[in-house]
Structure 1
Amino acid sequence: MGKTKKSKARGGAAGDDLLDSSDADSVETSSTALSDLSISYATENVNSHEFVLDKYIDALYEKRGSTREAALASLVDAFESFMLDGLVENKYATLLSLFNTSIKKGSTKEACLASRAIGLLSITLGAGSTSHETMVESHPQLSKVLQTWSDASKMISALDCLAVVTFVGATDLAETELSLKAMWDVIHPKSGSNVGTVRKPKPPVLAAALSSWTFLLTTIGSWRINTDSWKEPIAFLSTLLGAEDRAVRMAAGEALALCFELKLLDVSACEDDDDDTGVAGTSKSKLFLDMQALKAKIAGLASNLSAEAGGKGADKKNLSDQRDLFQRILDFVKYGECPEESLKIAGKRDVLRVSSWSELIQLNFFKHFLGRGFLKHVQDNGLLQDIFSIRTDKAESLSSSDKKIFRSGEEKGRALKLNKDRRQAQERKNAALFNE
């Protein structure tokens, strides 16, 4: 954990105070400079890069909200488009302080941009003491947004940011659990501290909370797990498979798939002594039966959702996505078949491959959070390269004759998979007709 750095004071003001400036020309100059970063990157003058970054920082001190919003939007664009690690490593404390101030005092739009900027800053810095400090400094403000149940878009941005900064910056299970609890209090509010009035999150917020919680849960695999403590959360997640909103159902399904992969539902019925599940032998048989019942319930719900009938006016694209997701979940639960995906990274050679629910969930979350900047960061960001397996396509290094043989084998594999997909699609169609 690195030492806490203080933001550089401007004009005698602390980091949380905004300069009072009525100079219209100064504001306009700061705003105009915000579009210059892409131009400056075309040069080889490092000083010009730092000059433009300082202009962004200056604009974040301005009193006019629109100027700060423009600065944040341009910073987000720069973080997505370029690897700024060399430029921000000595300025991250100042940036972080200003971003947190925008979350605390700015408009909803400004707070959303600032949350995104903090997450991108953490990804840019990579694992280490600086990202740990980023998490520690931003956690209280992000948690406050979730506890006060602010605007939906502000909550979603805070959830995404909290997931990213904890994923990158947490150094132990306790820190990760703190963020997981903050997210779970949004997912299942009655378990939170404000139990006087139980509030239900709107579907977009609930789906975002589930996705963030699941993404962060992928990091606990190597830590000791008490199986008994997962019984209630998994039971609640299973109820969300019956939610009206399709995005919520799918997010809950991914969470449950991960729970299966992490073996959070696994309890041995053979041993009577205490073990690493944290459950006494006398209670173990009941827990085993309860978990078996949960497994059966989840498998049954997944089967139904994989064959759900469309109905008049149904969103066909999302319905297809839902069917495919729950078929994959069902295949994993029943047969142990892991999801596999590949993504071209650069030209024809570099391919990113995932072959587990943990990897797939991490891939989808980073793609969602980084947006158009995902490929750039996968190519140049050491953090993402450490997380994902990126390999060279073997066929590209083969001779023409060997390449044909290799491709023939690939085609055969694809044909077998297509036949399997067609068979499963027909089975789902028949089940849907039967249920109508």
Structure 2
Amino acid sequence: MGRRKQNKSTTDQFDSSDTDSITSTSTGFSDLTLAHETENVNSLDFVIDKCIESLDNKSTRVKALKELLDAFEGHVLFPYLENRYVTLLDHCMNSIKKGKGSPTEACLASRAIGLLAVTVGTGSSAHEIMEQSLPHLERAIVSGNDAVKISVLDCLAIVTFIGANNWDETEKSMKLMWEIIHSKSSLKVSRPSSAVLAAAVSAWSFLLTTIGGCRIDLDSWVEPISFLCTLLENDDRTVRFAAGEAVTIVFETVIGNRLSYEMSDLADLDNEQLKPKWFKPIMSLKAKIKI
């Protein structure tokens, strides 16, 4: 999600072998090339077929996911995945499902799903990826370890950003993220670590940029803005940074135009009872954070 720095506590979720397997993906694709010096070695069809085949086998799944990520990052794969994306998505979902794979595997698979959505682009295929992956990503957000939760939150933000057809679909994903951010609002989500909290805030605010001209009930935004403002005083720098970005996006994207439109009339209104409920608390928060 761009500028967020990953907290050290996130990497502590892996042992050294897990960390190495995540961070050393750059050689996977070249290793595959060297191992198959045949007339088909330069065929991406061949490479993708071998990756998909290897995803069926638990012992080769992590290696296959790394090779697949290298292919995504080094090539334009849409022509080769146009008729394969459902099969590939199913394999990646199996790596995320509870108890099906290791945290390393789940992190790699969630990253692959995000890249798959980017590759197919906006449209019916991306929407299908979002719909099919959402239930499994939701469960992983609840039950995964910190590293998995962070990878899944990033994946959820990407597939929703690309695949959602309307604000209602985007808002559904944002509500899952908000359950992490404001864990007291959900009995099924435990209090997040600082790294997970920062990831959730960044993912949530990323999707918030798509709100556009949708219906906005400013009364409903008072509580979220107030809670985000409390995070500006969090002990963890990454949380404070993510919260600052989120608050800025809220004021610029959600209520900025409406404030500028209604500000003069409401400010000059002497009767406080005639002012909307949101006016006083939001103006108080605005003054507090000096926006």
With structure 2 as the length reference, what TM-score do the two structures score? 0.80
Please tell me the residue identity of whatever aligns with 2:113: I
Q: Say whether 1:181 aligns with 2:175.
A: yes
CA distance in 2, matches of 1:232, 1:211: 18
- Give runs of aligned pairs for residues 314-393 of structure 1, distance below 5 A: 333=291
Distance 1:254 1:140, change over 3 A: same
* Aligned equivalent of 1:100: 93
CA contact 2:126–2:162 (8 Å) conserved in 1: yes
| CA displacement 1:401-433 (0-9 Å, x = unmatched) | xxxxxxxxxxxxxxxxxxxxxxxxxxxxxxxxx
Whole-Å Cα distance in 1 between the matches of residues 249 and 241 of structure 2? 12
Q: Quickly say closer, same or farther: Cα 1:145–1:282, change in 2 above 3 A.
A: farther
Structure 1 residue ranges, 4+ long, deviating more than 6 angstroms after superposition: 43-47
TM-score, length of structure 1 as denominator length: 0.54
Give 1:145 shift: 1.0
Gaps of 5+ in 2: 1-27, 267-271
Larger radius of gyration: 1
CA separation in 1, counterparts of 2:217 and 2:145?
35
Indicate conservation of the 8 Å contact 1:166/1:179, yes or no: yes
Tell me which amino acid in the other structure corresponds to 2:114: G
Is this contact kept in 2: 1:100–1:138, CA < 8 A?
Answer: yes
| In 2, Cα distance between equivalents of 1:34 and 1:95 | 21
- Whether the 8 Å contact between 2:201 and 2:243 is mirrored in structure 1 is yes
Amino acid at match of 1:173: W
1:123 is the counterpart of 2:118? yes
Higher relative contact order (CA 8 A, sep 6+): 2
**Over aligned residues, Cα RMSD in angstroms?**
2.6
1:49 Cα deviation after fit: 2.0
1:231 correspondence with 2:196: no
Count of residues paired in the alignment = 253
Amino acid at match of 1:192: S
Match of 1:53 among 48, 60, 67: 48
Matched, 1:171 2:165: yes
Alignment of 1:36 with 2:27, yes or no, is no
Report what 1:207 is aligned to.
198
Contact 1:96 1:118 survives alignment (8 Å): yes
Show the 5 A alignment for 1:227-306.
227-264=218-255, 266-267=258-259, 268=262, 270=265, 284-299=275-290
Contact persistence 1:163–1:212 (CA under 8 A): yes
Task: Judge conservation of contact 1:34–1:55 (CA < 8 Å) in 2.
Answer: no
Matched, 1:73 2:66: yes
Instruction: Identify, as 1 or 2, the structure richer in helix.
Output: 2
Deviations 1:260-280 (A, max 9, x none): 111426553637xxxxxxxxx
Distance 1:167 1:216 in 2: 6
Amino acid at match of 2:32: D
Shift of 1:297: 1.2
Question: Alpha-carbon deviation of 1:241?
Answer: 0.4
- In structure 2, the residue corresponding to 1:219 is in which secondary structure? coil
